[in-house]
Amino acid sequence: MHARIAVVTGAGSGIGRAVARTMLAAGYRVALAGRREAALAETAAGHPDALVVPTDVTVETEVDALFDRVVREWGRVDMLFNNAGAFGPAVSAADIELADWEQTLAVNLTGALLCARAAMRTMRAQAPQGGRIINNGSISAQAPRPLSVAYAVSKHALTGLTRSIDLDGRPFRISCGQIDIGNTRTEIMDELGVGSGALQADGSRKVEPTFSVDEAARTVLFMADLPLEANIGALTITASGMPFGGRG
């Protein structure tokens, strides 16, 4: 069998880097997209099946050029991991600046739509037709943290995007699913203070458990490896014991 072709956005760090490396190790050819070329090259680490394509997912022409490049190099796209994102400002809904709101939604939501649109157009035109899109949602797609209005709203909206893509892709054998990850060990968890004391709904701070980003990446690979006749529409993976279920 020929290697399957994947595009991973936000591949320069965190979950995106872990997923890209896991998929390369599993035999995929992987296009690494992100704004920082040096970080993408570090993720690729010289792997012969890695393609570094610096891309700002908020710029329509750059997204379209990304998918055109992948098709020129490898002939098709089988999977998109829509992962690029930004947490945005840690402020109340009462205090957020419009520019900060718009920038967070531009990356997390509009960028995801632009990448999904380009992927869908490629997948419906190729032979054999079809492919899979996996959106990186976040636990915040289900329950927000305090002072995270732009991020939480963008991730809630991403759930609607996931379901719409899966519905609209049916005639073309294109499926879409979402993974909501809670407290995997990445740079953003350090920014939130999860390891030293993250802000809770009651105003207190609590050290929260985390889990290895490699386990999150293995879970994305599991979703990606399914045959097109099967799809995981929604999957939640969290650190055991994190304050999400129940009363905290």
Q: For residues 114-123, b (16+ Cβ closer than 10 Å) or e, as one string?
A: bbbebbbebb
State yes or no: is 28 an active-site residue.
Answer: no
The CA distance from 65 to 67, in Å, is 6
The number of beta carbons lying within 10 Å of the beta carbon of residue 197 is: 13
Give the phi and the psi of residue 76 in degrees, each rounded to 5: -165, 175
The CA distance from 45 to 17, in Å, is 11
The conformation of residue 53, written as its DSSP 8-state character, comes to E
The conformation of residue 187, written as its DSSP 8-state character, comes to H
Question: 24, 89, 151, 186: which is the annotated catalytic residue?
Answer: 151
* CA proximity to 179, closest of 229, 215, 227: 215
The CA distance from 53 to 62, in Å, is 10
- Known catalytic residues? 151
